[in-house]
Amino acid sequence: MIARRGAGLLLHVTSLPSRFGMGDVGPAAHGFVTALSDAGQAFWQVLPLHPTLGKHQHSPYHATSAFALNPLLISPEVMAEEGIIGRSQLSGLPEQQKSWIDFPESAPKKMDFLRDAARQNQCGRGDTAYEQFCSKNHSWLEDVALFLALARHRGADWSAWPQGIRDRDPSVLRDQRKARATALEEEKYLQYLIFSQWSALRAHAQTCGIRIIGDLPLYPAYESADVWARRDLFRLTDDGRLLAVAGVPPDYFSRNGQRWGNPVFAWEEMERQEFSWWTDRVSHALSLCDILRVDHFRGLVSYWEIPAGAATAKGGFWVQAPGRALLSRLAARFPSLPLIAEDLGTITQDVRELMEAFGIPGMGVLQFGFDGDPHNPHAPGAIREEMVLYTGTHDNNTLRGWFDEEIGPGEKERIASILGRLPDPPALSREMITLALDSRARVVIVPVQDLLGLSSEARMNRPGTTEGNWRWKLCPGEPGDNDWAWLSAGTLRSGRFLHEAGE
């Protein structure tokens, strides 16, 4: 899947600098791709790109659709460049100067702006490209558009909708489509815009030699078009209530474990249907990126099922899943199977065997490598060539925050032993990035926060918490020229420079 040594950066699209409160796929994204290429990078890793919910703090891991893209990622500036709106209309979208993303303030204003623009353009009526998009994506677009249109007025918790809508009575849905025709067309048109803009960004990345690593959450949110439209594929009661939810047992990130709240799959029914939902989903995802990181990969082998009424994840238990059958089906459809397994946490031998059987690389995280355990797979000396090595992930503290706030004397001694000295805190991040770049791992991915040496205020997510996450963003001009130059030099020295590798 990944034949040569390479490196890249982890940065979610919303974290790009923007005039309008949150990052999008416009000029800053195109500039970031160009800078990656100039610095010899081969990869840009993003978080899930699906629509998000304010109820879940706009977490990209609580998607209202496993197929749609988030319209909040639409660039108003690109809309103006393409003549969809007049450039003067950009002044109608208030500019946000905060150093963090204020979703409660920014998201509603941007959505109002986008819907106004959709109506102004008659929601694509008469546009051949729009009509082709709707035809090509009909299998998921109609349900998603209706779900989002209904959610505007009734909230996204579809189990609380009137019974006929909740249970998808055909005559009731037909009436709803007529009653909400304008909202339906707006939602479809916004999907057309974000898919078009993302396609242009990906084409730019391909021209620059940058491969995009996408992120596939294992489970959609309960409040999603997928669960509403395909209740047979999830563990629910007859009236659509949750029987069980997903999560993980107590681990490094949380003493109580993590109760995610996503519904778990009805795997027997998925297998009976020959995993068609999964093959459609992965095919769709791979049309949008080059490689997929499968979040919570071990859930394909066995997953932590938590009774819906349990307050924490401690009340859960392990349940087997048909991962080998699923991956066999996917491998038949996608022979190269360009996947990365998020294999952090409690990983058993059967998970390792499944990864090896299908040639799926796992993850190493440098922050986990200094606990002194002689069998620690994340220890610098244990890093394997087939791993994708990260200095940290979106769930970790930044390197600087980890060093300042989380590790004890023993870990600091082991860091000093490997580096030859204990770096001053400001120098720690670059020392650790250098250690990663010099490792045997074929691919190294560095969160942008670590490249900039930022403290814990720049952390993206704190697992087990529901407030203050997903809000970090870059300031204009970050990374700076010196940051890119340093990264370029380290990438070249470690034999990972994109152009030198002949990519």
**Residues noted as catalytic:** 295, 342, 395
**C-alpha to C-alpha distance for 249 and 259, rounded to whole angstroms:** 9
Cis peptide before 162 (omega within 30 of 0): no
**Tokens 């074929």, located at residue:** 442
Q: Is the CA virtual torsion 93, 36, 370, 417 positive or negative?
A: negative
Whole-number Å distance between alpha carbons of 453 and 486:
12
Q: What residue ranges in 127-275 does DSSP mark as E strands?
A: 211-216, 244-248, 258-263
Helices then strands, counting H and E runs in the chain, come out as 18, 12
116 vs 85: CA distance, rounded Å = 10
Give the CA distances from residue 235 to residues 76, 98, 294, 353, in Å, rounded to whole numbers and listed in that order: 40, 41, 21, 27
**Pairwise CA distance, residues 268 & 324, whole Å:** 14
Q: How far is CA 320 from CA 59, 234, 267, 300, 343, in A?
A: 27, 15, 9, 8, 16
Q: How far apart are the C-alpha atoms of 249 and 318, rounded to whole Å? A: 9
Contact 53, 64 (CB under 8 A): yes
- Residues 50, 68: contact at Cβ < 8 Å? yes
Distance CA 166, CA 327 (A): 32
Strands of 258-263's sheet, edge to edge? 258-263, 244-248, 302-307, 317-320
Mode of pairing for the β-strands spanning 302-307 and 244-248: antiparallel
Residue 331 CA to residue 333 CA, distance in Å, equals 5
Cα distance between residue 118 and residue 123, in whole Å? 5
